[in-house]
Structure 1
Amino acid sequence: MYASRAFAHLKIVSIILCAGLLSLTTHAQQFNWADLPELPGGLGFGGSFAGTHNGALIVAGGANFPNGMPWEGGAKVWYGDIHVLETGDTTWNSESSLPHPMAYGISISTPQGLIVAGGSDSEAVYADVWLLKWDADAKKIDFDTLPPLPEVSAFHAAALVGTTVYVAAGQKSTDATDLNHAFWAMEISGPVDSWKWESKTPWPGDARIKAVAAAQTSGTDRSLFYLFSGEIPTRDQAGEVTLNYVIDGYRYDRANDTWTTIADLEVPVAAARAIDVGQSHIIVFSGSTGEHVTKPTQEIPEFPNHVRAYNTITDTWSIAAEMPRSVVTAEVTRWNDQIVITTGEIRPGIRTPRVQTLEIKGTDVAFGTLNYIVLGLYLAALLAMGFFFSKREKGTDDFFLAGKRIPWWAAGLSIYATQLSAITFVSIPALSYATNWVVFPGSICILLMVPIVVKFYLPFFRKLNITTAYEYLEKRFNLHVRLFGSASFLAFQLLRMAVVIYLPALGLAAITGLNVYLCILLMGILSTIYTVLGGIEAVIWTDVLQAFVLLGGLIVSLVLLLVYEGGPGEVLALASEKGKFAMLNLNWSFTELATWSMLLGTMMLQFGPYTTDQAVVQRYMTTKDEAAAAKGLWLNGLMAIPGLFLFYLVGTCMYVYFGAHPDQLIVGMKNDQVFPLFIVNRLPVGISGLVIAGIFAASMSSLDSSMHSVATAVTTDFYGRLKAGVSDLQRLRVARAVIVIAGTLAVTLAFALVRFDISSLFFLFQKMLGLISSGLVGIFILGIFTTRSHATGVLLGAVASIAVLIFLTWFSEIDFYLHSVAGIFTSVAVGYGCSLILPNPKQDVAGLTMHS
């Protein structure tokens, strides 16, 4: 009762807040339409094949009515002509032909060529499959004959899922009611002569023709096959054919050969074509609804010009745009960074030679003066802190360790902010939005890691009075191990910086309409400036500020999400119904995400940042003593679980919100853009500026830490160690120069990330962490917990660990959470084994292991 009353009061306050502030101005998403040169002949074709190969657009076959409309007695004519358009051409090359006229089959573009399969003419239905290859030098089409379909088929649907062609069979004779309920697959990753068809489990719905198919992911990296709508012709007792139009949809998962029923369409879209866009959308062009099927053919109007969007995560449909010219029985493909819709039927009997192109742009949003003021003030505050703390620097001890005057609670908050980063602020809500809470139980591992670090690692870092963690490795082993450890850290941090600078730039680009590359550049410059100026003290105190801004923005977003969707009760009920709170995956699979492997892997992953990462270890060294550092660690551990709970809950609430408002999703967006999108579109002015500042906070708190720790490692472990007689001033100058270089490299790598289609940057980061840090974790374990391990042995163990992880990452299907387990185990086992076998000069390890 009290909880509901409190929420009611909170809701009233939130509504007043929202009403009292101007909302953002959001403009419609841009669908930019254009035309390519018209196909020869002037009439156009229905049921043609189309796709791309070797940089050329290919349109082949098709049918039309050249001698009068069907209601005038005109007969349909099938064609075998192949028309080819190369980039920059204004006319089509029509010198090649299919082996025989054909239409109403399927087309699949592959690197090897354009696959055309099945179809019909006036006399028969075919199982023929050909590979059309464009010879750009000879200006002609070459053919390979491929294995025929298992059965003849026309008006079927197909899509390429990964490297497998899937075909949902259609009509198996010239009798329109003779349907085939079959589903076939052909793997094309090997040589062409190894390709063959296999039968798979058919979809649970009825057999049909003119269904719509596409391939797309659904919150994970695994691509799935989707099948929508279609026609089901039946014959009554009088012999008349009736067309039944269906709105059902199904999703096929090739991993287990199973189908899942998905959301129905509002209206049928038979004979439409579809294509995947972005990471979670399928767009469907036009389609026959069957609304006018009982009318005389000549009275049936043009087909609807709607472009419908299906979101594979929220399982919802929306109308995204309108076509300039509606067409069915067309083909859709990608060419020169555009979607191409080739020819097609605009109404029964009437075709168009028009070849339409589509380029999808993002949504223009007016971020608002107040939001820019809030964001600008925040960024100005960061720069001011950099200038302020630069005045307190008297040498490298201040620049690297802040004179050991940081309070324990500030060190703890700095560790917390550093470890969260934009990867957490943006990607964790995106992860729970796209999937569920299966990864959340792993947050307990952060707390479990604290006593291990406090008991076994922290004493060595503090009592040896070192600046970098890798100085311990030289004392315990030798210089080569120290340099290897420091170099491994540097490689990881450069990749990490690229990710954490890319994410907020992605959000800023979505908000302002600025080029994402420009946003990345601005982020890199700002972070570099205040880190160069203020050293570790500026980094830590800006982290403290950023921790509060980050959590404040998160809480505001959560409250408003609950307000928009009717309160916690309704949101939780709907999310539970959809399985969004699932936390356990109780299988013993080594290849799929399972609770046991996730917990084990997450625990192993914590060893990297908390025992070997200079960005975190450096915080241990900035407090006055070991006890203060331990308290800071405990603060971070205790904040981790409730903090991550809020992040996951925000993502789940966004799933509910966008499930109710699918039209507010940007068609073609990346999954990691969903939280910035909500912030921009739905938070009131001023508040959205604050939350976007939170995204910047999340990024900068990690970016500044990474740049500063990279500078510390390079200056201390390489420059200061390998060059004799270096003054304190020289080391300080080198450190600042390294920060600038690190920022430049991070920006360059972030530019590269823009080109990759990464469904979850959270999982990418976890893979990077396991691959690069596992060998180093093993070295520290062997150094602290054993007395007989030596430099040669531990280095061999680390190299073996890297080799194993490369194999697991690129040549196996083992779930990536087990990669870190395998990597650390290999490093420890091989490192210790080699230390026992290989001779090594006797070394004094007194005070350098837990046993001495």
Structure 2
Amino acid sequence: MSILDFIVLFGTLALIVGYGVYKTRGTQDLSDYLKGGSSMKWGTIGLSVMATQASAITFISTPGLAYESGMAFVQNYFGLPIALIIVSVVFIPIYYKLNVFTAYEFLEKRFDKKTRLLGAFLFLVQRGLAAGITIYAPAIILSTILDWDLAFTVVLVGMLVIIYTVSGGSKAVSITQKQQMTIILIGMIIAFGYIVYYLSPFVSFGEALDIAGASNKLDTVDFSLDPEKRYTVWTGLLGGLFLALSYFGTDQSQVQRYLGGKDATESKMGLMFNAVLKVPMQFFILLTGALLYVFFVFYQPPVHFNLSAMDEVAYHQKDKYEKITSEHDDWAFRRKVYALDLRDALNNGDESKVSIAKHNLDSAANGLNASRQKMKDLITSQDESAKTKDSDYVFLTFILKFLPVGLVGLLIAVIFSAAMSSTSGELNALASTMTVDFYKNIIKPEGEESHYVKASKWLTFVWGIIAIFFAFWAHKSENLIEMVNILGSIFYGVILGIFLVAFFLKRVGGSAVFFAAVISQIAVIVLYNTTEIGYLWFNVIGCLGVVVLGVVFSVFDNAKAAKS
């Protein structure tokens, strides 16, 4: 990166952090610190909710996922608009009526303390792990750009987020997220525009879509009933619905964003903002990835997008490296020629030549994949612990190698902004839950407001350190965006089941739902480790497990009580 890029990068980050700290300095009231004083309007809520979910992982990993396997991942979000409508109608009025700081306070009012603590504990485990992944994602970028040690970079990124999250609390998070989300959306549009611009000497936008479609990168809808398929219409509408319902309705990192609204109407409008825009935004990011595939058809792609891993192999096994690279470059040249053949055949309306060009394009793609696999095997032979899945580096490679000076710094700032906004929201929610549901509820029930604010700040710092440790575990994941959704699916279904019982099954008591939740959570973890079921189904399995077992245990409890 150039000096100008570094100025743009660090200048943007410094302005965002400084602005958030300045606007929220001196906060000593617990409601102000944890809920932003309940003064935020729907626009701030909507952008804050979107920014908390759209982490750096979204903007690093999602384009790479589409580049590698197409746009089917968008089906994950098909149930999201329905979920947000349900949260607005059912969850928000109850939270506002009870005037809670966390979603889990409601569980004690409805059931008992142990059920509240179980719900809070499951959230802390899941969100703590996820926070580590959202720290790891931007650390990949910085370590790649500056050639810094990844461990050092993880610590640096984590500490940067901790500083302004501790300083300003929920309001600082929401205020900075509004600025960050604006920068993120502008940056992604600019990147998309440059991809189309670079492709224009070879193909028009429509022709680029034709080539992406012929390469199976635009397949967005799959009606398959195979339960082992990760992304289908049914996993999106059912599993995605349960996932989004639990995430937006019971995950404190989201609940805290909209509980900071001036009133319930502002909160509902903030969620409707996401219901309308979230799916198109994800579609746009995936489309960017699909076009990146076409871009690297016409511009020489590396054999492996993790260039630092390639450098190690090139140094230690030069002959094998050069042989595989030469083979890869030959296939890449053929693929480009076949793509141009397909363009011409489509423009001429010659169906026979279209069929031949598609066949040749598939053959070249298979040849490229074979050479890429050889390079992955070579990397593993050099370092058995090396991560060979490189889809998380695809978009980053485009930014660093092909964008003009200045814009590189802006796009990297965009990804860092996404990382800071999402991680800060997570740390703030973790500290809120720990303060309200555990510290204030069990350890020190009577205390001054300023004391709880200080406790929340310290707990934010502690959870930040824990998240940094979790980040070192994240390198084991194959694709970061999928790993975040897998983590959520393992825990969210059970948490959602507890809340649905609380809302709709008034005769089910605390002990029944508590043991139903424990058993269902164990069952989900066992199924995840022993089967190949698509992970979105775990949201449905966990939720239904809690509801069904809760009813069964309640019937036994009532029968036992009647006999006594």
- TM above 0.5, yes or no, is yes
* C-alpha deviation, 1:821, in angstroms: 1.3
Contact 1:428–1:648 under 8 Å retained in 2: yes
Instruction: Name whichever of 815-824 and 518-527 sits farther off.
Output: 815-824
Size of the aligned set, in residue pairs, is 474
Q: Runs (4+) of structure 1 moved beyond 6 Å?
A: none
* C-alpha deviation, 1:383, in angstroms: 2.4
Aligned partner (choices 791, 800, 804) of residue 523 of structure 2: 804
* C-alpha deviation, 1:437, in angstroms: 1.6
Residue 831 in 1 paired to residue 468 in 2?
no
User: How many angstroms apart in 1 are the aligned matches of 2:536 and 2:36?
Assistant: 36
Aligned partner (choices 480, 484, 509) of residue 761 of structure 1: 480
Q: 2:233 matched to which residue of 1?
A: 595
Contact 2:392–2:480 under 8 Å retained in 1: yes
Aligned partner (choices 9, 16, 19) of residue 385 of structure 1: 19
Residue 400 in 1 paired to residue 400 in 2?
no
Amino acid across the alignment from 2:112: N
* C-alpha deviation, 1:674, in angstroms: 1.0
Aligned partner (choices 516, 538, 551) of residue 185 of structure 2: 551
* C-alpha deviation, 1:840, in angstroms: 9.7
Residue 710 in 1 paired to residue 347 in 2?
no
User: How many angstroms apart in 2 are the aligned matches of 1:599 and 1:626?
Assistant: 27
Gaps of 5+ in 1: 1-366, 843-852
Residue 613 in 1 paired to residue 251 in 2?
yes
Amino acid across the alignment from 1:660: F
What RMSD over aligned residues (CA atoms) do the two structures have, in Å?
A: 1.7
Q: 1:644 matched to which residue of 2?
A: 282
Contact 2:16–2:180 under 8 Å retained in 1: no
* C-alpha deviation, 1:802, in angstroms: 1.0
Amino acid across the alignment from 1:817: L
Q: 1:749 matched to which residue of 2?
A: 470
User: How many angstroms apart in 2 are the aligned matches of 1:707 and 1:796?
Assistant: 29
Aligned partner (choices 444, 447, 450) of residue 84 of structure 2: 450
Mapping 1:813-828, distance limit 5 Å: 813-828=532-547
Contact 1:413–1:543 under 8 Å retained in 2: yes
Contact 1:511–1:676 under 8 Å retained in 2: no
Aligned partner (choices 279, 289, 297) of residue 659 of structure 1: 297
Aligned partner (choices 450, 473, 477) of residue 729 of structure 1: 450
Q: 1:779 matched to which residue of 2?
A: 498
Of Structure 1 and Structure 2, the greater helix share is in 2
User: How many angstroms apart in 2 are the aligned matches of 1:573 and 1:457?
Assistant: 44
User: How many angstroms apart in 1 are the aligned matches of 2:276 and 2:560?
Assistant: 44
Contact 1:775–1:797 under 8 Å retained in 2: no
Mapping 1:663-682, distance limit 5 Å: 663-664=301-302, 665=305, 666=307, 667=310, 670-682=390-402
* C-alpha deviation, 1:483, in angstroms: 0.8
Where 2:54 maps in the other structure, the secondary structure is helix
Contact 2:20–2:175 under 8 Å retained in 1: no
* C-alpha deviation, 1:464, in angstroms: 0.6
Q: 1:276 matched to which residue of 2?
A: none
Contact 1:431–1:651 under 8 Å retained in 2: yes
Aligned partner (choices 400, 413, 417) of residue 697 of structure 1: 417
User: How many angstroms apart in 2 are the aligned matches of 1:617 and 1:663?
Assistant: 42
* C-alpha deviation, 1:379, in angstroms: 1.5
Contact 1:493–1:710 under 8 Å retained in 2: yes
Contact 1:450–1:634 under 8 Å retained in 2: yes
Contact 1:510–1:677 under 8 Å retained in 2: no
* C-alpha deviation, 1:588, in angstroms: 1.9
- How far does the alpha carbon of each residue in 1:147-203 deviate from its partner, in whole angstroms, 9 at most, with x for none? xxxxxxxxxxxxxxxxxxxxxxxxxxxxxxxxxxxxxxxxxxxxxxxxxxxxxxxxx
Amino acid across the alignment from 1:540: S
Q: 2:262 matched to which residue of 1?
A: 624
User: How many angstroms apart in 2 are the aligned matches of 1:719 and 1:663?
Assistant: 53
* C-alpha deviation, 1:482, in angstroms: 0.9
* C-alpha deviation, 1:615, in angstroms: 1.0
User: How many angstroms apart in 2 are the aligned matches of 1:623 and 1:390?
Assistant: 16
Amino acid across the alignment from 2:269: K
Contact 1:770–1:819 under 8 Å retained in 2: yes
Of Structure 1 and Structure 2, the greater strand share is in 1
Query: Do the aligned partners of residues 636 and 392 (structure 1) sit closer, same or farther apart at CA in structure 2, a change above 3 Å counting?
Result: farther
Q: 1:530 matched to which residue of 2?
A: 164
Report the structure number with the largest CA radius of gyration.
1
Q: 2:219 matched to which residue of 1?
A: 582
- Percent sequence identity over matched residues? 31
Contact 1:417–1:543 under 8 Å retained in 2: yes
* C-alpha deviation, 1:622, in angstroms: 0.9
* C-alpha deviation, 1:539, in angstroms: 0.3
Contact 1:422–1:504 under 8 Å retained in 2: yes
User: How many angstroms apart in 2 are the aligned matches of 1:762 and 1:441?
Assistant: 14
Amino acid across the alignment from 2:406: G
Query: Do the aligned partners of residues 638 and 595 (structure 1) sit closer, same or farther apart at CA in structure 2, a change above 3 Å counting?
Result: closer
Instruction: Name whichever of 764-773 and 555-564 sits farther off.
Output: 764-773
Which structure exhibits the higher relative contact order, with contacts defined as CA atoms closer than 8 Å and separated by 6 or more residues? 2
* C-alpha deviation, 1:445, in angstroms: 1.9
Q: 1:230 matched to which residue of 2?
A: none
* C-alpha deviation, 1:690, in angstroms: 0.7
Aligned partner (choices 56, 67, 77) of residue 433 of structure 1: 67
Contact 2:83–2:242 under 8 Å retained in 1: no
* C-alpha deviation, 1:491, in angstroms: 0.7
Contact 1:560–1:683 under 8 Å retained in 2: yes
Contact 1:601–1:820 under 8 Å retained in 2: yes
Where 2:95 maps in the other structure, the secondary structure is helix
Amino acid across the alignment from 2:412: I
* C-alpha deviation, 1:450, in angstroms: 1.8
Contact 1:507–1:677 under 8 Å retained in 2: no
User: How many angstroms apart in 1 are the aligned matches of 2:234 and 2:300?
Assistant: 35
* C-alpha deviation, 1:385, in angstroms: 2.1
- How far does the alpha carbon of each residue in 1:294-338 deviate from its partner, in whole angstroms, 9 at most, with x for none? xxxxxxxxxxxxxxxxxxxxxxxxxxxxxxxxxxxxxxxxxxxxx
Q: 2:153 matched to which residue of 1?
A: 519
Q: 1:795 matched to which residue of 2?
A: 514
Q: 1:411 matched to which residue of 2?
A: 45
* C-alpha deviation, 1:841, in angstroms: 11
Amino acid across the alignment from 2:459: V
Where 1:439 maps in the other structure, the secondary structure is helix
